[in-house]
């Protein structure tokens, strides 16, 4: 009888252990940036806080530097459930929600505070809500920063300085239109392939926020950085909607709370570290040009706004402008 009870107790313990293992949830969080980027800083904060606040019931495994595919593949993975959480440039979601391209129109946001106000307000939240129609739960907008131009020919001071440059661009139609309008030859190349493309001369210019130029080591293959700040680039943090809905109400709230805190933390670091990052780029040999005729650029790119509105309407653009006041 004792042996029977002992065996029964062991079986019960195993059953409870199996039940506990089944109850535990593991989330895969993917992004394209290197470990040294602030995207990874956000991911590590998210992992630490979610695991602590759920007492380990929800674990987070991080896959940086495109380990789970390029941006498009990671977003598709998040929609299908292969990836649980994806962090990627908002431009990579415009294939699902074209109106989101309004946030990336050149010179849309005069400063970060305005961008935060709009993204965290009704216009930005409406785009996150639209993502639910594509199987994604929008969690917030981390910062990528203002886009600036690097190249190997010389400083970019006025629009005509872009003429003839072989310019790598992302898949933002607005930015493609902008660089084509200003006389460059835009080419879409995934960020994971960009270093090689610059090194081999496939392209000789590109635009990215300062942090990306540093973390991807573009300073090794680019000489000039011009602080054009021609577009504010936001990231989007999104989760598979079914996975989010499968969590308990308490776990869902933890995910939402930690996401908001992680976004705020990462934005703050992005601003605080900008001068430090510029100094690091200078130390690596980049020549930094702050003499950019912003007024001339803004006047020159007005047709880009007109083209976007002709295709997508002016509703979101007007909402952004109103929320910016």
Q: Which two tokens stand for residue 302?
A: 């007005």
Question: What's the DSSP call for residue 95?
Answer: T
Q: What is the mean pLDDT of residues 237-246?
A: 98
Question: What's the DSSP call for residue 313?
Answer: -
Cα distance between residue 311 and residue 291, in whole Å: 34
Q: How confident is the model at residue 145 (pLDDT cuts 50, 70, 90)?
A: very high
Please write the tens of the pLDDT for every residue from 74-115. Answer: 999 999 999 999 999 999 999 999 999 999 999 999 999 999
The dihedral formed by the CA atoms of 76, 136, 44 and 60, expressed in degrees to the nearest 10: -90
Please write the tens of the pLDDT for every residue from 168-212. Answer: 999 999 999 999 999 999 999 999 999 999 999 999 999 999 999
Residue keyed to tokens 């936001």: 234
pTM: 0.91
Q: Give all domains of the chain, ordered by start, each with its CATH number.
A: 16-323 (3.40.190.170)
Task: Give the pLDDT confidence score for residue 10 in this predicted structure.
Answer: 42
| Phi and psi torsions of 62, nearest 5° | -105, 135
Written as one string, the DSSP assignment of 166-204 is: EEEE-S-HHHHHHHHHTT-EEEE--GGGHHHHHHHTS-S
Q: What is the mean pLDDT of residues 138-156?
A: 97
Mean pLDDT over each residue of the chain, to the nearest integer: 93
Please write the tens of the pLDDT for every residue from 25-57. Answer: 999 999 999 999 999 999 999 999 999 999 999
């Amino acid at each position: 009888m004792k042996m029977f009870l002992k065996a029964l107790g062991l079986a019960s313990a195993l059953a409870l252990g199996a039940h506990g293992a089944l109850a535990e949830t593991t989330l895969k969080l993917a992004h394209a940036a290197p470990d040294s980027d602030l995207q990874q800083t956000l991911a590590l904060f998210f992992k630490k806080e979610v695991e602590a606040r759920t007492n380990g019931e929800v674990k987070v495994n991080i896959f940086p530097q495109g380990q789970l595919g390029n941006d498009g593949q990671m977003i598709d993975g998040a929609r299908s459930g292969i990836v649980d959480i994806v962090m990627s440039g908002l431009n990579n979601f415009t294939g699902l929600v074209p109106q989101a391209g309004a946030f990336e129109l050149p010179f849309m946001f005069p400063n970060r505070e305005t961008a935060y106000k709009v993204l965290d307000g009704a216009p930005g939240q409406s785009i996150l809500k639209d993502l639910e129609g594509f199987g994604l739960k929008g969690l917030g907008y981390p910062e990528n920063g203002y886009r600036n131009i690097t190249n190997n020919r010389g400083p970019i001071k006025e629009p005509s300085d872009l003429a003839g440059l072989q310019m790598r661009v992302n898949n933002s139609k607005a930015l493609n239109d902008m660089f084509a309008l200003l006389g460059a030859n835009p080419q879409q190349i995934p960020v994971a392939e960009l270093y090689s493309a610059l090194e081999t001369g496939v392209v000789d210019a590109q635009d990215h926020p300062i942090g990306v130029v540093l973390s991807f080591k573009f300073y090794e293959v680019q000489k000039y950085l011009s602080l054009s700040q021609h577009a504010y680039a936001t990231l989007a943090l999104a989760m598979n909607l079914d996975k989010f809905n499968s969590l308990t109400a308490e776990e869902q709230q933890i995910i939402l709370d930690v996401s908001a805190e992680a976004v705020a933390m990462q934005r703050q670091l992005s601003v605080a570290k900008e001068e430090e990052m510029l100094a690091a780029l200078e130390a690596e040999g980049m020549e930094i040009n702050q003499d950019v005729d912003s007024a001339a650029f803004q006047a020159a790119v007005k047709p880009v706004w007109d083209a976007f509105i002709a295709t997508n309407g002016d509703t979101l653009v007007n909402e952004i402008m109103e929320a910016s006041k």
